[in-house]
A and B are shown apart, each in its own frame.
Chain A
Amino acid sequence: MSDDGAPVIRIEGATKRFGDVVALDDVSIDIGENEFFALLGPSGCGKTTLLRSIGGFEQLSSGRILLDGVDLGHARPYDRPVNMMFQSYALFPHMTVRDNVAYGVKAEKLDKEEVAARVDGVLRTVDLEPLADRRPHQLSGGQRQRVALARAIVKRPRVLLLDEPLAALDRKLRQEMQIELKRLQHEVGLTFIVVTHDQEEAMSMADRIAVLHAGRVLQVATPQELYARPTDHFVAAFIGKMNFLPGRVVTGGVDVDRVGVVGASVNGHLEGADVWLAVRPENARVSSDEGTDPSVGGVVEAVAFVGAQVHTHVALDGGHGTFVVTSPPGATTASAGTRAYVSWSPDAALVLSRP
């Protein structure tokens, strides 16, 4: 949040319809100054539509978007102090790197020295100076991306929109660019709104994340909170890995179908409501005896040693599929085919609605 706490971008009840398809359904989000904010979700969830609406390339069917408290309305992209880095980079193929970057600044009718100074400054910031006279087709994917960034940053927008910035890069480059983008954002001091479908990316880069699905915002929170306390089944499944057990709320726990009552904190849920009992793999343990913690029995299917972790796959009673337990190496492992109990500490489990 900025100094006076007011959000830079406020999205109020944004709804967008394409014919019969509802791409955005009453979305409301606040984004603060200098935040690295991510719109995360699977393809078709509306995140790109939302981004484009902020940029002025789509018009909302209803709702509004406020920038510094001012309704952007139907303002055209060139009238918005917002700039976008396109997924395809959209570099002008017939211009050099320098001309690409200078393009938007020249449109602001500054004098020549000012333009040159700004352009040179940005080229230095993204480390593109030696390539300034090349054309896009002579650049690699990573270099093109930096040009696209530079071109947007040089305009000093209030907000920078990035549409799947890392999608076109190979894995090694992607990880480098994640760090690079964070560094850039701090150095330049801009608010970034990034659209991505990759939850690992969002989790590692963003200050806060909005998870979208089918046009709706499911949860807005910091990465840590999204991971530890997802408020929705979809969010819990989408972020990281999660084990789910279906059941109904009873006093003091969840009556897991065909298993029995498992103790859990059910505050905020009505008795009898259908819920999921959700446990992260690393929060669970496998042991041969039941113990006092909430637990469910089953048969060990397989034990896999994956790098720095041990994955134990247990086929639970009640036919609820495979429960995965992750433990550090060296923990005692059960052998496949034996009967075992999967347990977790009471506050490690989540209870989520099951519509």
Chain B
Amino acid sequence: MFSMRTKRFIFLILIIVILACRPFTAQAVLSITAPTSATLTGKTVSIAAQTSTGVIGDSNNANLVGVKVSDDGTAGWTAVMTSTHFTTRSNKTKKLAGSNATVDFTGTYDGLDGVLDPNGIFKVEITTGGAVGTAVFKWWDPAGNLTSTVTTAASVVLSNGITVNFAAATYVVGDSWSAGVDVFPYTGLTVTPSDIYAESGSLTGVSKGSSEALSGTGATSDAKTIMTATAGNGIGIYWQDEDLSLSIHANSLSGSFTATVTLTVS
């Protein structure tokens, strides 16, 4: 296919290319790690708004705990975080009418209906009786939006991350169940990046983000900068703790509220 001369030429070019570039194992490595979980201080349900605090990392801002960014390149980098809303779904389905305790709600509520007073519910009501697959139901989302004429099934996706499950039973018209949901929106979550600790490398050109509440309108917040390294800086290993302050609305549901923070460096 190729002449020997051509082969030698290609081989030569490739050798030049390889030598011109850094060896593969020595390329710039930019990475981020973070604690797998963080718990905010628990509160008791109150008729007044409260504030809960926590930290991704710890209160010592000069140790090897927290969010870690490692880089051996010179391009600089930016570390940001996003968060979902803190949400809960009551793990106790309420039977509002009827005798069957065979309906359950599953899934993680996305919190997009916001803070509701009284707290939001997903509600299901049988409109045509029968077995699963025959019975028909209507349902309401936390905002009160009604969806009618849905056929039962072992699992039916409702909205906002929630699914309703119908176990085998004979369902009767008027049977009804609900599950409460609640949210502490991320717009009430103020993130305060701590001072940065350099395990190795210089802090020159490496700066922390400002203290601010997360913003956004989606299920996941807009990205918030926690630390940046300008071009030519940030070569090393850097640690930072993220202090969290969350607004807790009055008269919330009791239970465990969860959110997921995603930390990204690029």
Chains A and B form a bound pair: no
Residues of B within 8 A of A (CB): none
